[in-house]
């Protein structure tokens, strides 16, 4: 597919900042639902000022880290387990933000940072891999200054499912979707620690639609239209699935 067609398929007025980036670059770095759109949605509620130190936890190919550095002038520690930091450094240098984005290889439970080092913590499409344990927030939140914000966004149903797999999604269900949780679940999961005050816990508006738009474009571009995840989103038809966004600030 040529870039003009990809551009047409990915036009989305909800994300004007993301529209300034090459769609080919976005697709080349894809590891899940569009990470720039999600970063832009987080930034609606996470205050980001030039010079702030931001942890992008589970950054994958660091597209969101590059985006946050360019858009908000923040300094980002692009931290990931599966993607080699050398690979992310290459992308960071190509994007000309090597003074602002630092690729780090680390496991989410063994972070090489000082407590209170960051002005904000963000995590896109990743927190559910390591953060559903009741005790994880107590570890993670210590890296942000008291009063500062933590923002995450990842797939989740609008409400918790009563039955697993949910009957209408059974043909597509993978066992690890059990880590997909609703905004209300996340709110309680964080609030019960007493360590943070949750400011926003919602299903990102239009996120089902955006997710499907993204998958359809990526699938077509790869020459494999309507792959299984897109089929699942179509079967759900916006009934349950979307992206759960949670934003809180550290209280203690």
Residues that bind ligand SAM (CB under 6 A): 31-32, 35, 58-60, 64, 80-83, 107-108, 124-126, 129-130
Neighbours of 118 (CB within 10 A): 23
> How far is 216 from 63, CA to CA, in rounded Å?
20
Question: Rounded to whole angstroms, how far apart are CA atoms 199 and 148?
Answer: 12
Specify the residue, 174 or 252, whose C-beta has the smaller distance to ligand SAM.
Answer: 174
Cα distance between residue 117 and residue 75, in whole Å: 12
Whichever of 84 and 168 has its CB closer to ligand SAM, that residue is: 84
* Least distance CB 147 / ligand SAM (angstroms): 25
Is 154 in contact with 126 (CB distance < 8 Å)? yes
* Cβ 129 to ligand SAM shortest distance, Å: 4
> Tokens 């955006």 label which residue?
210
Residue nearest ligand SAM, Cβ-based:
60
For residues 101 and 168, which CB has a smaller minimum distance to ligand SAM in the complex? 101
As measured in angstroms, the least distance from the Cβ of 204 to ligand SAM is: 13
- Residue 63 CA to residue 146 CA, distance in Å, equals 27
Angle in degrees, CA 171, 175, 177, rounded to 5: 90
Cis bond upstream, residue 75 (ω within 30):
no
Q: How far is the CB of 162 from ligand SAM (least distance, A)?
A: 26
Write down the least CB distance from residue 163 to ligand SAM, Å.
Answer: 26
Q: Return the number of the residue (190 or 214) whose C-beta is nearest ligand SAM.
A: 214
Report how far residue 229's alpha carbon sits from residue 58's, in angstroms, rounded to the nearest whole number: 21
Phi, psi of 187 (to 5 degrees): -55, -50
Closer residue to ligand SAM in complex, CB, 80/229: 80
- Nearest-approach distance from CB 229 to ligand SAM, in angstroms: 12
Nearer to ligand SAM, 18 or 35 (CB): 35
Cβ atoms within 10 Å of 213's Cβ, excluding its own? 20
């Amino acid at each position: 597919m040529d870039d003009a067609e990809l551009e047409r398929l990915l036009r989305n007025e909800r994300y004007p900042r993301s529209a300034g980036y090459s769609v080919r670059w976005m697709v080349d770095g894809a590891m899940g639902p569009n990470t720039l759109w999600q970063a832009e949605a987080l930034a609606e509620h996470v205050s980001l000022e030039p010079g702030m130190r931001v942890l992008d936890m589970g950054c994958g190919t660091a597209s969101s880290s590059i985006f946050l550095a360019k858009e908000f002038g923040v300094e980002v520690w692009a931290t990931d387990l599966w993607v080699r930091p050398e690979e992310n450094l290459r992308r960071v240098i190509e994007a000309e933000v090597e003074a602002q984005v630092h690729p780090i290889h680390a496991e989410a439970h063994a972070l090489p940072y000082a407590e209170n080092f960051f002005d904000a913590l963000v995590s896109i499409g990743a927190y559910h891999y390591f953060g559903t344990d009741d005790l994880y927030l107590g570890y993670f939140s210590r890296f942000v200054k008291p009063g500062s914000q933590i923002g995450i966004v990842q797939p989740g149903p609008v409400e918790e499912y009563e039955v697993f797999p949910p009957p209408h999604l059974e043909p597509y269900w993978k066992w690890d979707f059990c880590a997909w949780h609703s905004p209300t679940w996340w709110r309680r999961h964080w609030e019960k620690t007493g360590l943070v005050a949750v400011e926003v816990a919602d299903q990102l508006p239009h996120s089902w639609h955006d997710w499907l738009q993204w998958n359809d474009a990526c699938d077509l571009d790869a020459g494999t239209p309507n792959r299984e995840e897109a089929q699942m989103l179509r079967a759900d038809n916006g009934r349950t699935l979307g992206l759960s966004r949670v934003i809180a600030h550290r209280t203690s």
